[in-house]
Structure 1
Amino acid sequence: MSADIYRHFAQCRDFGFRDQITRSGLSIPSNIAEGYERASDKEKAVFLNYAKGSSGELRTQIYIGIEIGYISPEVGHRWKREAQDISKMLHALISAMRT
Structure 2
Amino acid sequence: MRFENLEIWQRSVELSVEIYEHFSGHRDFGFKDQITRSSLSLPSNIAEGYERNSDREKALFLNYAKGSAGELRTQVHIGSRIGYISEAVGIRWIEEVEQLSRMLFAIIRRMQ
Using structure 1 for the length normalisation, give the TM-score: 0.98
**Count of residue correspondences:** 98
Residue 66 of structure 1 corresponds to 80
What is residue 105 of structure 2 aligned with on the other side?
91
In the alignment, the residues of structure 2 paired with residue 51 and residue 5 of structure 1 have an alpha-carbon distance, to the nearest angstrom, of: 17
Deviation at 1:39, TM superposition (A): 0.1
1:22 to 22, 36, 52: 36
Partner of 1:47 in structure 2? 61
Runs of 4+ in 1 over 6 A off after TM superposition: none
Distance 2:37 2:86 in 1: 20
Identity across matched positions, percent: 66
Unaligned runs of 5+ in 1: none
What is the distance in 2 between the residues matched to 1:9 and 1:76? 13
Secondary structure of the corresponding residue to residue 10 of structure 1? coil
C-alpha distance in 2 between matches for 1:5 and 1:43 = 28
Deviation at 1:93, TM superposition (A): 0.4
**Pairwise CA distance, 1:95:** 0.5
1:12 partner SS: coil
- 2:18 equivalent in structure 1: 4
Does the residue aligned with 2:25 lie in a helix, a strand or coil? coil
Shift of residue 26, structure 1, vs aligned partner: 0.5
Deviations 1:20-76 (A, max 9, x none): 000000100000000000000000000000000000000000000000000000001
C-alpha RMSD of the superposition:
0.3
